[in-house]
Amino acid sequence: MKLWQKDKTALQEVEKFTVGNDRELDLHLAPFDVLGSIAHVTMLESVGLLQQNEKDILVKELQHIYTLYNVPLAQRKLDEGVEDIHSQVELMLTQKLGDAGKKIHSARSRNDQVLVDLKLFLRSEIETLVNNTTALFDTLQQQSEKYKNDLLPGYTHLQLAMPSSFGLWFGAYAESLVDDLITVHAAYEVVNKNPLGSAAGYGSSFPINRTLTTQLLGFEALNYNVVYAQMGRGKTERIVAAALANIAATLSRLSMDACLFLNQNFGFISFPDELTTGSSIMPHKKNPDVFELIRSHCNRIQALPNEIMMMTTNLPSGYHRDLQLLKEHIIPAFKNLNDCIAMTGLMLSNITVKKDLLQDEKYQYLFSVEEVNKLVVQGMPFRDAYKKIGLDIEAGSFTYHTQLQHTHEGSSGNLCTAQIAGMMQSVKGRFGFEKVKAALDKLLHTA
């Protein structure tokens, strides 16, 4: 069944090519399509395009259909021969309710239907992503406090630079996730606007109430201009992809650090045997395969905004079938990134750090700046102190102490863990997930 079909059947090869993987990807959107339909028929009744009794039976049946699709993905299905989830829902309603089921498509198009489905899907996935990211943030902060007194070599240009600490290392990635979620929130604000009612991209002659569907679906605002609502397809995915890419960049960089630090030439960290992999011929190997795969998955996610940009480059206004393919890129990215977040958390929760690393003389020059600063505190001009310590190093007479006195905000002796946690709490509070949940709960339980 095809919503657009009249009296001719498309050539089989054309149908197969144009549908592509859309049926499988639509299963991700299924519960959201039902939510959009509940809001739509409620609105249709409010403007006189449905009778009260028609709206009531449609809403009741749609609420039932929602329970059929609000299940694990593997349990969702489309009937054989049904093109997409929009057709499936309308077919189920028509089979059960007759003519009333045929009325639900009034004043909307598959264009705005898939737009609202994607917005609802992205909004839901962003909530899951935010919760998973903050869980990893908590793990990083816990490890930062646990290992704040364990020193670690700091590098610039991959050369020994200054003393760092595991507290700083874990804490740096925690704060990075705060900024990452700021960009996710910006993407969420773009997502959380209602395109329903824009129809094929040029509005409708029916006297629909788009403000009502916005309220029913818990959107913060409308995509007001109907042409721009359709132009938002592709742009929205690109903005969301850029936000995902920021989190991915943080995980990729952390993973690269972990791969280096586990290397025997560094030897800074270790993991239980069951979290590393071995070699088929080298019995001593403990490979960081988890971090290597996280790094690769996340680097691929970092390419996602560019992929989407290139797929939508130079499209004129209006709908184009090119946009269908965006689902194949943006939908799987969420699971991929969430899996990487989960595995990063698992690894870091089981990490062991090497104690007293900087007692080894090979790290002595890490403390050169500390010795320069001591002379400055005693009254020597900085340039003179710098020159003296440099000459001592060249002469082989450099002496140092490994005790650090770093007290300023964000240094190894003052990690500001609580302040960073406060920033994360503030960012997470901006999303307003509770408002969305309340609106959708009301939509699903209104008699």
* CA 361 vs CA 76, 152, 155: distances in Å: 62, 14, 16
Instruction: Please determine, for residue 427, whether its predicted confidence score (pLDDT) is greater than 80.
Output: yes
Structure tokens at 108: 């909307």
Question: The tokens 């395969």 sit on which residue?
Answer: 289
Kindly indicate the confidence band of residue 8, based on its pLDDT and cuts at 50, 70 and 90: low
Which pLDDT score, from 0 to 100, does residue 285 have?
77
Which pLDDT score, from 0 to 100, does residue 201 have?
94
> Looking at beta carbons, which pairs linking 436-439 to residues 24 or more positions away fall under 8 Å?
436/123, 436/127, 436/192, 436/218, 437/218, 438/218, 439/215, 439/216, 439/217, 439/218
Angle (deg, nearest 10), helices 417-429 and 166-191: 10
Terminal-residue alpha carbon distance, the chain = 30
95 vs 40: CA distance, rounded Å:
19
145 vs 29: CA distance, rounded Å:
41
Kindly indicate the confidence band of residue 193, based on its pLDDT and cuts at 50, 70 and 90: very high
Kindly indicate the confidence band of residue 279, based on its pLDDT and cuts at 50, 70 and 90: low
| pTM of the complete model | 0.93
- pLDDT tens digits, one per residue of 125-154: 999 999 999 999 999 999 999 999 999 999
Instruction: Please determine, for residue 281, whether its predicted confidence score (pLDDT) is greater than 50.
Output: yes
Which pLDDT score, from 0 to 100, does residue 14 have?
85
Which pLDDT score, from 0 to 100, does residue 282 have?
81
Which pLDDT score, from 0 to 100, does residue 220 have?
97
Spatial contact of 244 and 337, defined as CB atoms under 8 Å apart: yes
Instruction: Please determine, for residue 1, whether its predicted confidence score (pLDDT) is greater than 50.
Output: no
Secondary structure element (H or E) that encloses residue 310, with its range: helix 304-312
**Identity of the amino acid at 187:** A
Which pLDDT score, from 0 to 100, does residue 83 have?
85
> Average pLDDT over the chain, rounded to whole?
94
Return the percentage of the chain with pLDDT > 90, whole number.
88
Structure tokens at 297: 């998955």
Instruction: Please determine, for residue 412, whether its predicted confidence score (pLDDT) is greater than 80.
Output: yes
CB within 8 Å of 421: residues ≥ 6 apart: 141
Instruction: Please determine, for residue 237, whether its predicted confidence score (pLDDT) is greater than 50.
Output: yes
Which pLDDT score, from 0 to 100, does residue 5 have?
56
Which pLDDT score, from 0 to 100, does residue 112 have?
94
- pLDDT tens digits, one per residue of 310-357: 999 999 998 998 999 999 999 999 999 999 999 999 999 999 999 999
Across 60-78, average pLDDT: 96
Structure tokens at 254: 């952390």
- pLDDT tens digits, one per residue of 344-398: 999 999 999 999 999 999 999 999 999 999 999 999 999 999 999 999 999 999 9
Which pLDDT score, from 0 to 100, does residue 10 have?
61
